[in-house]
């Protein structure tokens, strides 16, 4: 079977890596891929991002399954287009992807289906938004409605910051259409975790639990990033929390979408806030796997990822059981100088041949040019390792990092500390 993976990040490298372990898979194309997938003879990078050109490519190459990594092509309707052309693809339709591409859609959906989430109101008019903030005070959270590459949320600790965020989005239109509407929501306190499932429209297959670190610096300080590290499982998701999430969030979402006439096929990711009392609220939905959570999750997956996604795309997930490595997997992201504000590009990356057992280096912002591996983005690599405990996985991941060198590298030294505290 021939597979096409859409995307270029660490998540897509990990998907391709796992798909390549299936005996059913004979070829893997990645569009556009990165330096790491380019250098691996098992994969072929395809320099395309336009969804029409991708569908032409899939027809020409007789691709048996296309897997979509990032949200952008989903929000542009890549799944609708491929299905229209009778191509087999795993992911949500453009309408279903609104759970991620419109925060207002997601909040309205959650309210209608009684799914726990922060109280909110949506605004288009700056005056009304300012007035609401004046009435509710701080802390308060301002969210651009549309996709904003992880930069559209401002957790305002003061009223001034909240007003500024409104002007930024509704008056100065700094996010364009994505910020033409804003969701203002109640500030929630607790610990965050990620919960991902695979769905074929009806059947739900939960993936292993995970947690990521969004802040740039140790002890969760510094600016927000796309994610500086992650691990699986997340000890904070106890059996009790797990059942709660399935009953109160995941099942009503999947059934609610089906009931609303928008069946959800794809990866559904619920960003959770878990309070001290053990209540769980939905911070947001993503319609794809998280990055870097995918890297540790897929390192723990023992079952055939191709079979899972192929069956899900065909609506036959009910006949599948999956198996997980009971060990912990932990990923540490190596970012370029200047990340997240203005990542520096074109630093040469050296990776030693020495292999650290049970570890793998997934590429993201890398490119191979003139016989050199260079940085080409903010998050460069995710060094991922398996261990019998969080401590061991952490130790091995940091040992494997010693085999990588590039100028200006930034990485956290404490990935997994919350899991150590929770153990
Ligand atoms: N209601 C809330 N209360 C407290 N923090 C929040 C709230 N909503 C979001 N956040 C914080 O902001 C981050 C980003 O928000 P999220 O809704 O996940 O948007 P996105 O991932 O699209 O940027 C979350 O990971 C969380 O740390
Ligand atoms: Mg988020």
Q: Give the model's confidence band at 378: pLDDT under 50 very low, under 70 low, under 90 confident, else very high.
A: very high
Q: Residue 382: which of 301, 319, 292, 321 has the closest Cα?
A: 292
pLDDT tens-place string over residues 211-226: 999 999 999 999 999 9
Closest C-alpha residue for ligand 1 atom 9? 283
Q: What is the mean pLDDT of the chain?
A: 97
Residue 6 has pLDDT above 60, yes or no: yes
Cα of 334 vs its chain's centroid, Å: 17
Residue 151 confidence (pLDDT): 86
Q: Given ligand 1 and candidates 283, 284, 286, 340, which is best to mutate, with the most ligand atoms within 8 Å of its CB?
A: 283
Does the beta carbon of 185 sit less than 6 angstroms from any atom of ligand 1?
yes
β strands within 124-220, DSSP E: 140-144, 153-156, 182-186, 191-200, 204-206, 211-217
pLDDT on residue 423: 55
Per-residue pLDDT, 277: 93
Cα of 141 vs centre of ligand 2, distance in Å, is 13
- CA of 55: how far to CAs of 76, 304, 309, 360, in Å? 13, 25, 18, 31
Compute, in angstroms, the gap from residue 318 CA to the centroid of ligand 2.
29
Pocket perturbation via mutation, ligand 1, pick of 152, 153, 272 by most ligand atoms within 8 A of CB: 153
Q: Of 154-163, 170-179, 304-313, 330-339, which range is least confident? A: 170-179
Instruction: Give tens-digit pLDDT for 306-363.
Output: 999 999 999 999 989 999 999 999 999 999 999 999 999 999 999 999 989 999 999 9
Per-residue confidence (pLDDT) for residue 109, from 0 to 100: 98
Average pLDDT of the segment spanning 223-230: 95
Domains in the chain: ranges and CATH: 2-90 (3.40.50.20), 119-186 (3.30.1490.20), 191-319 (3.30.470.20), 328-422 (3.90.600.10)
Q: Is 152 in the pocket of ligand 1 (CB under 6 A)?
A: yes
CB of residue 79 inside a 6 A radius of ligand 1: no
Atom of ligand 1 nearest to the CA of 187: 3
258 lines ligand 1 (CB under 6 A): no
- d(CA 45, CA 33) in angstroms, rounded, equals 5
Share of the chain above pLDDT 70, in %: 100
pLDDT of amino acid 388: 98
Determine if ligand 1 sits within 6 Å of the CB of residue 192.
yes
Average pLDDT of the segment spanning 171-175? 92
In this predicted structure, what is the pLDDT of residue 422?
Answer: 65
Of 378, 384, 388, nearest in space to 410 by CA:
378
Low-confidence winner among 19-28, 168-177, 301-310 (lowest mean pLDDT): 168-177
Residue 319 pLDDT: 83
Binning pLDDT at 50, 70 and 90, where does residue 149 land?
Answer: confident
Q: Which atom of ligand 1 is nearest to the CA of 151?
A: 23
pLDDT-above-90 percentage for the chain: 98
What are the residues whose beta carbon lies below 5 Å from ligand 2 (ion)?
271
**Taking residues 87-91, what's their average pLDDT?**
98
283 in Cβ contact with 272 (< 8 Å): yes
| Confidence band for 79, pLDDT divided at 50, 70 and 90 | very high
Cα–Cα distances (Å) from 96 to 249, 256, 330, in that order, read 16, 11, 31
Pocket flag, ligand 1, residue 150 (CB < 6 Å)? yes
Query: For residue range 386-403, what is the model confidence (pLDDT) as tens digits?
Result: 999 999 999 999 999 999
Number of neighbouring beta carbons within 10 Å of residue 255: 15
Which ligand ends up closest to the CA of 191? 1
């Amino acid at each position: 079977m021939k597979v096409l993976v859409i995307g270029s990040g660490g998540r897509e490298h990990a998907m391709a890596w796992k798909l390549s372990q299936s005996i059913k898979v004979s070829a893997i194309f990645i569009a556009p891929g990165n330096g790491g997938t380019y250098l691996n003879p098992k994969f072929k990078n395809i320099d395309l991002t336009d969804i029409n050109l991708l569908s032409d490519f899939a027809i020409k190459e007789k691709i048996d399954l296309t897997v979509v990594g990032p949200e952008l092509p989903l929000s542009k309707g890549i799944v609708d287009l491929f299905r229209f052309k009778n191509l087999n693809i795993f992911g949500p339709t453009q309408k279903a992807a609104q759970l991620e591409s419109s925060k207002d859609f997601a909040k309205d959906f959650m309210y209608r289906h009684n799914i726990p989430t922060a109280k909110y109101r949506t605004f288009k008019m700056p005056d009304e938004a300012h007035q609401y903030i004046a009435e509710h005070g701080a802390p308060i959270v301002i969210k651009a409605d549309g996709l904003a590459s992880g930069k559209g949320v401002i957790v305002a600790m003061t009223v001034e910051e909240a007003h500024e965020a409104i002007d930024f989005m509704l008056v100065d239109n700094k996010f364009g259409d994505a910020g033409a509407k804003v969701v203002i929501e109640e500030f929630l306190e607790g610990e965050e975790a990620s919960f991902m499932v695979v769905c074929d429209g009806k059947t739900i297959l939960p993936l292993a639990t995970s947690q990521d670190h969004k802040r740039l610096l140790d002890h969760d300080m510094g600016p927000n990033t796309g994610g500086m590290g992650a691990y699986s499982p997340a000890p904070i998701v106890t059996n009790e929390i797990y059942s709660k999430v399935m009953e109160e969030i995941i099942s009503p979402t999947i059934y609610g979408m089906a009931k609303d006439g928008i069946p959800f096929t794809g990866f559904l990711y619920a960003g959770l806030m878990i309070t001290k009392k053990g209540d769980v609220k939905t911070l947001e939905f993503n319609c794809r796997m998280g990055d870097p959570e995918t890297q540790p999750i897929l390192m723990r997956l023992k079952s055939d990822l191709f079979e899972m996604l192929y069956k899900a795309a065909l609506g036959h997930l009910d006949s599948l059981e999956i198996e997980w490595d009971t060990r912990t997997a932990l990923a540490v992201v190596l970012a370029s100088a200047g990340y997240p504000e203005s990542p520096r590009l074109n630093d040469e990356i050296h990776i030693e041949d020495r292999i650290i057992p049970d570890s793998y280096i997934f590429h993201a912002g890398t490119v191979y040019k003139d016989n050199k591996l260079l940085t080409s983005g903010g998050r460069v690599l995710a060094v991922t390792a398996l261990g019998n405990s969080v401590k061991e996985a952490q130790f091995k991941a940091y040992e494997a990092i010693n085999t990588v060198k590039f100028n200006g590298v930034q990485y956290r030294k404490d990935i997994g500390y919350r899991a150590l505290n929770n153990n």
